[in-house]
A and B are shown apart, each in its own frame.
Chain A
């Protein structure tokens, strides 16, 4: 599949003359770690050490 998905309601308008701009470089990044998330919409654990 290589067609763009339907534009979204928050799509920003394309600037005029877009075809003339310099191509932009590709970006991709993925990081990995041991998962330990247990938060949920009712609570997010904030465990930064900071005594009052």
Chain B
């Protein structure tokens, strides 16, 4: 196969029916280039005209940009697991139950030493960048080791931009005051608009509901700018996604994610919805978020869909690094487990073959070079079917490698929701055709970006 920049533009453009009444898309899958053209004039658009001329002039530039995004990034973030334990037993958790129920905390000393080592590593690869590396306290439940976490945040306040992803059950007034005073980005999780729905997948080990505790945490965060809520979409809550959106909007949640369930562990696969059902419920929820925006003037951004829009409009502006191939695991970020081991992503912590070694023994560089990491960072969907022929493959990235391995049989398999991701790309392109894309994105999403191609309102091809 020729390298993308060696090929002629006209020979690589592909027409895609996006289900729009007036528009079809043409894409160059190799460079993530796209355009919307009159669906009756697709053939003409591919043969000649200003679109093709202008794209030919910039094709190599776009190929190089995508190449750099996919293969030349240095890590700038770490997901820190300060404990193996969790006070919940969620159906779909990617961490082994034995760890979550009986595991260990990382000691405060080990956490501080780890952050010092990580600070030095990030300085070595980020140089004098005016942005800080990101350090996110993450699963199992980081606030079970709250004293160590809070000590670390204060000790390294000058060195990292911190975040916490928590189940919200331990987020009391004091915790909220501590975290918000330091502008720590906070993520919560809630799976239903009512306790009976949340309880189906998220509950304590004794099967007690935590729904109301999370709602209380959401109330404490109302008015704060840097927080979000994740809903994991499974068969248990799919009929209620629209009501979820209404609940989040009523609580003034700035950003949410409606994530299709990750299928790394068998428990998750038991409640996986079909792609068709996922699509129907997800797009109804997006439509509801848009209606609420139009009614109130206040956006509730659905970040995982916004990221697909970004992948189309500005590939380098992605905020999430799952929907790209190779994914961000082991190259844009990595994860530190509570036992001090490094993994490409937290999703792999339950899979020992992806252990890249101990941070305080071999260091980050050794982990990045390990076979455990290499198998993830070399998962290139240009090299395996059916992704290699998909016209929207670089808007999607075929997430996630852990899904691909554990559910579908290997790194050269698709992720768990192939058809759903294609539909998201079509939906996003329809929004662009209808000039609605900005309604689904964060205000100011393109601050700091440069427009490198624009063909807006050009007359149809003669």
Residues of chain A touching chain B, judged by Cβ–Cβ distance below 8 Å, are: 1-12, 14-15, 18-19, 21, 23-52
Residues of chain B touching chain A, judged by Cβ–Cβ distance below 8 Å, are: 13-24, 33-43, 45-47, 50-51, 55, 62, 65, 69, 73, 76-77, 79, 131, 134, 136, 138-139, 161, 163, 165, 176, 180-181, 183, 185, 187, 221, 223-228, 230, 254-255, 257, 259, 262, 276, 279, 283, 303-304, 307, 313-322, 327-329, 332-333, 345-347, 391, 399-400, 419, 422-423, 426-427, 430, 432-433, 446, 448-461
Min Cβ gap A26→B in Å is 5
Most B CB within 10 A of own CB, among A1, A7, A42: A42
A4–B17 Cα gap in the complex (Å)?
Answer: 6
On whether the beta carbons of B450 and A31 are closer than 8 Å, the reply is yes
Please list 22 pairs of residues, one from A and one from B, whose beta carbons are closer than 8 Å in the complex, sorted by A's number.
A1-B13, A2-B42, A7-B19, A11-B17, A12-B430, A25-B459, A26-B461, A28-B51, A30-B313, A30-B314, A31-B452, A35-B73, A38-B328, A40-B329, A40-B346, A40-B347, A41-B322, A42-B138, A44-B320, A48-B254, A50-B225, A52-B221
Q: Could you say which residues of chain A place their CB within 8 Å of the CB of B329?
A: 40
Q: Could you say which residues of chain A place their CB within 8 Å of the CB of B16?
A: 4-5
Q: Could you say which residues of chain A place their CB within 8 Å of the CB of B452?
A: 30-32
Smallest CB-CB separation from A30: which chain B residue?
B453
Indicate whether A12 sits within 8 Å of B19 (C-beta atoms), given known contacts A38-B333, A50-B225: yes
On whether the beta carbons of B460 and A25 are closer than 8 Å, the reply is yes
On whether the beta carbons of B449 and A43 are closer than 8 Å, the reply is no
On whether the beta carbons of A40 and B333 are closer than 8 Å, the reply is yes
On whether the beta carbons of B322 and A32 are closer than 8 Å, the reply is no
A38–B322 Cα gap in the complex (Å)?
Answer: 9
On whether the beta carbons of A10 and B426 are closer than 8 Å, the reply is yes
Indicate whether A24 sits within 8 Å of B346 (C-beta atoms), given known contacts A9-B423, A41-B322, A46-B225: no
On whether the beta carbons of A46 and B183 are closer than 8 Å, the reply is no
Min Cβ gap B94→A in Å is 9
- Other-chain contact of A29, B138, B254, B451 (Cβ < 8 Å): B451
Q: Could you say which residues of chain A place their CB within 8 Å of the CB of B457?
A: 25, 27
On whether the beta carbons of A10 and B432 are closer than 8 Å, the reply is no
On whether the beta carbons of A42 and B226 are closer than 8 Å, the reply is no
On whether the beta carbons of A41 and B304 are closer than 8 Å, the reply is yes
On whether the beta carbons of A44 and B180 are closer than 8 Å, the reply is no
On whether the beta carbons of A42 and B165 are closer than 8 Å, the reply is yes
Min Cβ gap B291→A in Å is 18
On whether the beta carbons of A43 and B165 are closer than 8 Å, the reply is yes
Q: Could you say which residues of chain A place their CB within 8 Å of the CB of B228?
A: 44, 46
On whether the beta carbons of A15 and B21 are closer than 8 Å, the reply is yes
Smallest CB-CB separation from B180: which chain A residue?
A52
A14–B19 Cα gap in the complex (Å)?
Answer: 8
On whether the beta carbons of A33 and B450 are closer than 8 Å, the reply is yes
A21–B24 Cα gap in the complex (Å)?
Answer: 15
A29–B47 Cα gap in the complex (Å)?
Answer: 20
Q: Could you say which residues of chain A place their CB within 8 Å of the CB of B136?
A: 38, 43, 45
A45–B371 Cα gap in the complex (Å)?
Answer: 29
On whether the beta carbons of A28 and B34 are closer than 8 Å, the reply is yes
A14–B229 Cα gap in the complex (Å)?
Answer: 37
Smallest CB-CB separation from B430: which chain A residue?
A12
A1–B26 Cα gap in the complex (Å)?
Answer: 10
On whether the beta carbons of B332 and A5 are closer than 8 Å, the reply is no
Q: Could you say which residues of chain B place their CB within 8 Å of the CB of A34?
A: 316, 448
Indicate whether A21 sits within 8 Å of B448 (C-beta atoms), given known contacts A6-B17, A37-B318, A46-B225: no
On whether the beta carbons of B314 and A37 are closer than 8 Å, the reply is no
A7–B39 Cα gap in the complex (Å)?
Answer: 13
Indicate whether A1 sits within 8 Å of B15 (C-beta atoms), given known contacts A31-B313, A35-B318, A46-B185: yes
Smallest CB-CB separation from B134: which chain A residue?
A38
On whether the beta carbons of A48 and B225 are closer than 8 Å, the reply is yes
A45–B65 Cα gap in the complex (Å)?
Answer: 23
A-B pairs with lowest CB-CB distance, top 6: A50-B225, A38-B77, A11-B19, A28-B35, A31-B314, A23-B460
A36–B76 Cα gap in the complex (Å)?
Answer: 7
On whether the beta carbons of A10 and B17 are closer than 8 Å, the reply is no
On whether the beta carbons of A42 and B163 are closer than 8 Å, the reply is no
